[in-house]
A = this chain, B = another copy of it.
């Protein structure tokens, strides 16, 4: 009789708090109980909440963004048992579809406060901000960033199988050493965090253990993938994931309607709740057969495409905004590339914060161009000109349009913020003093070192 309906293995509610839902969890740990079972070869639907678990509202204030509780993220759906999967296998995950919830056709892009989450350009743009995006079929648009519309390259930001106890120990040791050695005036990694831990249907004992040991979901990690935030891992993609525990314990979440390469503002994709449809196949002995240390994938055939000549492309080098020469630093180069694009679009009337938000979520192409011409790494950023409803091509002086404003925290005015930008001083920067920040960093060191 053929297919009549695809099984939904994870219904979530957008009204019940995420921490009350047993098929969600927010740490990586092998002891989190299975949330369901999926056959080898089966295609199922899995619903997901947005990565914050509903902390951000469809409104015009970024207060929620400023005050987001990062101990609660990311709420993932799972972990699911994939029948027959065992350590050493590869789980072939084919993403058949990703859709927003029909009754929830909107998402958000945010800039975190420099002192609560931060982002790639937080030294220049330290203030929390937000844009709400409306979804109409394949397209999205925002009242906070007018004159753009683009189709989503929709994808899950996070997918992966649970670490084994050994893999988890490696992570905690490795990241703990980084925290312990940190001399920067910023948080460089997040150790296990008992506060607000959610371990699905786990008993209190297991939950406490997950709180003590469970890896945070923020970074992607080589051994299993996780929060890779790869924008092209979209509909039709096949991802090959190493299996570390019996049954695979596959989890997925952090759905993005769209994202630019780098997801630069950290909460930079268009974050949403929604439904992912996945086919699962187990490749026995796949890790050895494929010589695999980290996930690989094949993108799907249905990405938006504009033609190469429609990407206005910016170049950046590892010389920072203060004129300092860095040695082969791609991170510095990519930051400069983005600043060049901000400066360019600013001419049309957008505020820097609007562009920072836009480049985080629109399908911009960030390439490593040259990485060997000492001392300058060179990166490029390709901006699809067709997402704008006016002409942004480089033909002369720009005509400023009325671009309104993105959302800010209560009391912050766009004018004040944009008087900042890449070239000027910043007279604001949120709540924590330098002293307080230093204390936060010191606290993390202590946690790690067990002092």
Contact = CB atoms under 8 A, between A and B. Distances in A.
A401 interface: no
A106 B6 CA distance: 11
A352 interface: no
A16 interface: no
B370 A327 contact: no
Interface string A168-211: 00100011011000101001111000000000000000000000
A396 interface: yes
A144 to B, nearest CB: 10
Given A136-B3, A228-B378, A343 B184 contact: no
A20 interface: no
Interface in A107-124: 119-120
Q: Which residue among A120, A262, A283, A394 has the maximum number of chain B CB atoms within 10 Å of its CB?
A: A394
Contacts of A231: 369
A434 interface: no
Contact of A376 (B2, B137, B219): B219
A309 B299 contact: yes
Interface stretch (A21-29, A32-40, A77-85, A311-319): A311-319
Contact of A368 (B43, B218, B330, B340): B330
Interface string A293-329: 1111111111111111111111111010001111111
A132 interface: yes
Interface centre among A119, A299, A377, A386 (most CB of B within 10 A): A299
Given A323-B170, A330-B334, A187 B220 contact: no
Contacts of A397: 289
Contact of A319 (B137, B222, B232, B370): B222
Interface stretch (A244-252, A264-272, A408-416, A425-433): A264-272
21 contacts: A139-B236, A151-B302, A174-B323, A177-B325, A189-B327, A190-B374, A219-B376, A220-B315, A221-B319, A230-B378, A261-B369, A264-B371, A265-B372, A283-B396, A292-B344, A293-B343, A294-B314, A296-B344, A302-B304, A329-B330, A331-B377
Interface of A: 1-6, 43, 58-59, 95-97, 102-106, 119-120, 132, 134-139, 143, 151, 170, 174-175, 177-178, 182, 184, 187-190, 218-222, 225, 227-232, 235-236, 240, 261-266, 268, 277, 279, 283, 286, 289-317, 319, 323-331, 334, 336, 340, 343-344, 346-347, 365-380, 382, 386, 391, 393-394, 396-398
